[in-house]
Structure 1
C-alpha cells in the first residue's frame, strides 16, 4: 500500500527546492469495484485502483496547482518546477495563502467518526449477487416492464493532506452501494424511476430486495403520466428532491458567490431566510455518514454550526480565501481535489423537521403538485428567479390522483424559502437531511 504521507512530504520538499515560499500537497489513493447486471446476467464489471497527487504552490501571493499520477521522484520534481513556474506568471491574489499554524486542527476522533467498515470486503461475486437480487425484486413488482440497470459497488478511499505550515494528517473512508432503475409501460409511454442506497458500513445498507422493490413500485406508480394543468398551485417537494431546493439556499450563502456579490442573499446576513422555528445546521462530525471528516481541505478544524438559526441567516460557507475577501474567519468549509485550489463547500446539512408526515402535508396542501423528480434548471443566482422541469403526481383534496410529467414549476427562491413547511420524513444518513417540503404559490406550466 502506497505511503501517502511520504508522497506529500516528498512533494513539499520538491516545492521548496523549486523555489516555492509555501505549499500544500494532497495525496488520494484507493480502490473501487462496481458490477452491473441486466436480464439476470452480468452486464459490466469494473475495478479501479490507483493514487493521485496534487500540489499547490505559492510564490508570494501568486499561486498555481498541478496534479498527476506518476509517483516517481523525477516526475514529482518536474511537477513542482512546473507549478512554481506557473505561479510566477500568475496574477497576485492578496487572499491566497495557507492557514496560520496556530489555527490548524489538532484534536479529532477518527474512531468516533466511524468512517471505515472493518468487516469483510465484498467480492465481485458478492456485488453481482446484490445487483441480481435488486433486479429480481424490481421485476416482481406488478406493472414493471423491465429493469434498465441494477448495480452494486464498493469503494475504499484514503487521503493525506500536508502543508509547509506544519499540518500533516489523513484519513480513510469506505462505502458500499446498491441501486436499481426500473421501467413501466412501453414505447412512448415508458416511465422510469429509481432507488439506491449507499453506506459507510455494509450492515447499514438497505437489503437489495428493498432497493429493487422501491424502484419497481416507483416506476409502476408513474405509468400513464400526463401533463398537469397550468396555474398557480402549492407544491410539495418529495424528500428525495427536497434537498435540491435547500441546495439553492446553500449555493446562495456560499462564500464564492457572496464575495462576488452574485447571490440573491448577498445582503441577508441577520435577516430571515426561512420560516421562524426552522434551522439549517451543518455537522461534519456525524458518525457513519459519507460527508463527515476530521478536518477541512486546508487543515482547519470542523464542528457543528448553524447556517440558519430560527429562520435567520447566521453564517456564510467560507474557506480561507473567501473569508479573507470578506474580512471574516474561515468556517472550516474548504474542499478540494488534487487539481484545484480549495473552495468553500458544505457537508452534512440538516433542516429542522416538522411534526407532519408526508401524507399529512399533502392533506394540508389540498390540491397541487407532488414533485418526485426534477430535470434541468433556469435559475438566476443574483435575483433568485426559479424555473425547473418536474414530474410527480397530481393531488386533489389531499389525495394522489394520477402521475404527471413534462411540466415546469416557477417562482422566486426568496419567498419560496420563506414559506417552507417541512414534514418529518428526512433520511438521517445522507448528506442533505431534508424532509418533504410544502411550498406555496408556485406557477405550474403543464398541458
Structure 2
C-alpha cells in the first residue's frame, strides 16, 4: 500500500504494534492484541454560493487489550512515543487485574488467524486543493438551483475526502493491515416556500473518486427529489403494500444483521433467537457475504479479531444459513466464530428482474417510502414502527407525495412477506440491496 500522505509509514505502524506486544509480555500479560491507526481528510461546504465550512482532520491512535488469563483490560492513547506506549500497556494491565475472570475472554484460536493480506484495492488517494473542493461544491449547488426556480434555498453542498491506514496484531502471531479511502459529494436543498417547503438531499460516496457521480449530477438529483416532494399530502390510515426504495431497503438488512448478531443472541434480546436453519425471509431472498470484493466498503481479509474472512451464503431461499459471530460471542453461544468481529462484510441481496418503475407498477396501489424518521424498532419482539414520508401510488403510477405518516408492522412478518426485490441497488455502502416490496403494512395517517 502507498504511504504517501501519511505521517507514519506502514512499517512504522507495524513496529509500534510489535513494541506493544513485547511490552505487554514483559508486564506479565498472557495475551495481547492491539490496533494502531492513522487517518486524515478534508471537507469543504458551500451554502448559497458562499464558503460555509472548511475542515481538516488528522488523527492517530492505539488501542491495547491485554489478558491475564481470563481477565481482560483495555486502554487507548493518541501518543505514539515509547513512554506513552508503555504507559498504555500498564494501564490495560492494571485494569485487567481488577476485572472478574470471563471464561469466554481471550484471543481467537491461532489456526483461524488470517495468514496473508491480499490487496483489495481499497486505497485511492484523492487530494483536491481546498479551492478545487470549493469549486466542486459550488458546481453541485449551482446545478441544484438551476434545476428549477422552485428550488428556493440550500442547506449546503459538500465535498469530503478521507484516507486512513492501520495495523492490527496479537500475540498469536497475527499481524496485518491496509490503507483505505472514502470520498463523497453531497447536496441538500429546499423547494417551495412557507408551509409548503420541502427539504431533500442526495449524495454519492466511493473508495475511488474517479467513480463518483459528477458534482452536477448530485446537485440535480437532490433538486429533483425536493421538487417531487412539493404538494405532499396526508393520507388516511390504511393497510397496503409498501415499497422501500433502495436507499432505505438497506436499513431492513441492517435490522436483520443486528437481530442475528452474536451480542443480540447471547443476551437473548432478539426476535430471531434459535433461527439457524429456519426460514426467516420470503423464499425470494438470498443474501451473500463477500468480504474480498475489490473496492468494497465492507471488504477486509480479516475481522477485528484477526480471523480470516471467507465468502459465505447467509440466507438461501429465505432460510438462515449463518449468524454474525465474533470470537467472544461465539464462545458465549458454544459456536464457532464466523469472522464477523466488528460487523458484516459486503452483504449482497440477490436482485430481482424489476427496476424501480417496474416495482411501482407491480405494486399497483400502495406506498413508496423514501424517508424514515425515529428509531422505533424493538429487537426483542420484532415490532417495527417508524415515522415516514414518500409517495402514494395508484394504478401503478406515483400520484402525489405523502408526509406525516407512520408505517408499522413486525420485522418477522415483514421479512417473510417480501414479494419483490429490485435491481436498482446503490453501490455506496457495505450492504447492497435493491428496493424491497413488502406485501402489506399498516400505514397510520389522518
Match of 2:327 in 1: 320
Match of 2:153 in 1: 146
1:402 maps onto 2:382 in alignment = no
Spell out the pairing of 1:294-305 with structure 2 (5 A cutoff): 294-305=301-312
Choose the corresponding residue for 2:252, options 229, 242, 245: 245
Spell out the pairing of 1:355-370 with structure 2 (5 A cutoff): 355-370=353-368
Spell out the pairing of 1:153-164 with structure 2 (5 A cutoff): 153-164=160-171
Deviation at 1:87, TM superposition (A): 0.8
Spell out the pairing of 1:264-275 with structure 2 (5 A cutoff): 264-275=271-282
Q: Closer, same or farther in 2 for the Cα pair 1:428/1:177, shift >3 Å?
A: closer
Spell out the pairing of 1:186-225 with structure 2 (5 A cutoff): 186-225=193-232
Between the aligned partners of 1:442 and 1:427, the Cα distance in structure 2 is 24
Deviation at 1:105, TM superposition (A): 0.6
Match of 2:118 in 1: 109
Between the aligned partners of 1:424 and 1:199, the Cα distance in structure 2 is 19
Between the aligned partners of 2:372 and 2:345, the Cα distance in structure 1 is 22
Between the aligned partners of 1:303 and 1:429, the Cα distance in structure 2 is 22
Choose the corresponding residue for 2:75, options 43, 66, 85: 66
1:181 maps onto 2:179 in alignment = no
Choose the corresponding residue for 1:133, options 132, 139, 161: 139
Match of 1:121 in 2: 127
TM-score, normalized by length of structure 1?
0.95
Between the aligned partners of 1:184 and 1:428, the Cα distance in structure 2 is 27
Deviation at 1:429, TM superposition (A): 4.8
Between the aligned partners of 1:322 and 1:180, the Cα distance in structure 2 is 40
Give structure 2 stretches of 5+ with no counterpart. 1-6
User: Bigger CA drift: 287-296 or 212-221?
Assistant: 287-296
Whether the 8 Å CA contact 2:182–2:205 is kept in 1: the answer is: yes
Choose the corresponding residue for 1:40, options 33, 36, 49: 49
Deviation at 1:278, TM superposition (A): 2.0
1:226 maps onto 2:233 in alignment = yes
Between the aligned partners of 1:156 and 1:92, the Cα distance in structure 2 is 38
Between the aligned partners of 2:227 and 2:158, the Cα distance in structure 1 is 20
Match of 1:383 in 2: 381
User: Bigger CA drift: 249-258 or 186-195?
Assistant: 186-195
Deviation at 1:116, TM superposition (A): 1.5
TM-score, normalized by length of structure 2?
0.95
Does the residue aligned with 2:231 lie in a helix, a strand or coil? coil
Match of 1:99 in 2: 108
Choose the corresponding residue for 1:28, options 25, 37, 40: 37
Does the residue aligned with 1:264 lie in a helix, a strand or coil? coil
Question: What root-mean-square deviation, in Å, do the aligned CA atoms of Structure 1 and Structure 2 show?
Answer: 1.3
Deviation at 1:219, TM superposition (A): 0.7
Deviations 1:166-207 (A, max 9, x none): 111110001221100011122332211111111111111110
